[in-house]
A = this chain, B = another copy of it.
Amino acid sequence: MQLIYKGKTKDVYSLRDGQILLKFKDDVTGENGVFDPGANTVGLTIDGAGKSGLKMTQYFYELINSRNIPTHFISADLDDVSMVVKDAQVIGKGLEVICRYRAVGSFFRRYAAYSEEGQKLDRFVEVTIKDDERGDPTISDDALDMLGILSKSAYQELKQLTQQICDIVKDELAKKGLELYDIKLEFGHDKSNGQLLLIDEISGGNMRVYKDGQYVPPLELERLFLSE
């Protein structure tokens, strides 16, 4: 296998059969040594962070696949801390699709004039473009269409798929007394047939989860969620 990209939290290898292997690392994003899933820089290294993220990812992807929602996930190898996925082309230069159930984070920072911190939101979806230099700006469906990134109908498909997937994650977390406040997904198109697929990981690093009104950090989330 051949290394094709060294990411902030995962390295990407191409396999001989056209599939892709994602190797999860113990590097996590953050700033000033504090883990922050929303940050754009690697802030620190935590032993076991990669494996923890992979366990969550495997759990959610197997569940989502079983609901016949198209994803890139093929298999996970916990010992190797890696997973095999379909080769997908990111949308544009990469988009992040955020689904919000409560007004926290950047949503609240922007719209505090019209919202209370933590107020319920009805599966609010917004898209940001991956552009570290420009702080991952949000982008509207009109702009996605005008700039040739995503058509209006493709946006609607993306939005519906996002809400469907995030509701699954939210319901699963709720079974353990955990509440999903917001979550960030990525999508791509299957290089073999163009199908829209959920890609990347689904772990504590992509979501804000609270228990009894207290934020649950990613590694603790995995322990709470995957324990019997």
A113 surroundings in chain B (CB, below 8 A)? 93, 129, 131, 134
Q: Which residue of B lies closest to A146 (CB)?
A: B124
Is A164 among interface residues, defined by CB-CB distance under 8 A? no
Contacts of A138 in B (CB 8 A): 138, 140
Number of copies: 2
User: Which size bracket describes the interface of A in this complex?
Assistant: 20 to 34
Interface residues of A in 66-109 (CB under 8 A from B): 92-93, 109
Decide if the interface of chain A is mainly helix, strand, loop or mixed. Answer: mixed
Contact A134 B109 (CB under 8 A): yes
A122, CB-defined interface residue at 8 Å:
yes
Q: How far is the CB of A146 from chain B (nearest CB, A)?
A: 6
Residues in B whose Cβ lies below 8 Å from that of A137: 110-111
Which A116-147 residues have a C-beta within 8 angstroms of B? 121-122, 124-126, 129, 131, 134, 137-143, 146-147
Find out whether the CB atom of B111 lies under 8 angstroms from the CB atom of A147: yes
Cα separation A147 to B121 with both chains bound (whole Å): 9
A142 to B134, CA, bound (A): 23
CB of A181, distance to nearest CB on chain B (Å): 15
Q: Does A154 contact B (CB under 8 A)?
A: no
Q: Counting CB contacts under 8 A, is A44 at the interface? A: no
Establish whether residues B131 and A143, one from each chain, have CB atoms under 8 Å apart when the complex forms: no
B111 to A124, Cβ gap below 8 A?
no
Query: A122–B146 contact, CB under 8 A?
Result: yes
CB neighbours (8 Å) of A92 from chain B are 114
A92→B115 CA distance, assembly (Å): 12
Enumerate chain B residues within 8 angstroms of A129, measured Cβ to Cβ: 111, 113-114
Q: A226 contacts the other chain (Cβ, under 8 Å)?
A: no
Which B residues are CB-close (under 8 A) to A148? 114
* Alpha-carbon separation in the docked complex, A143 to B114 (Å): 10
The residues of A with any CB-CB pair to B shorter than 8 Å are 92-93, 109-115, 121-122, 124-126, 129, 131, 134, 137-143, 146-149
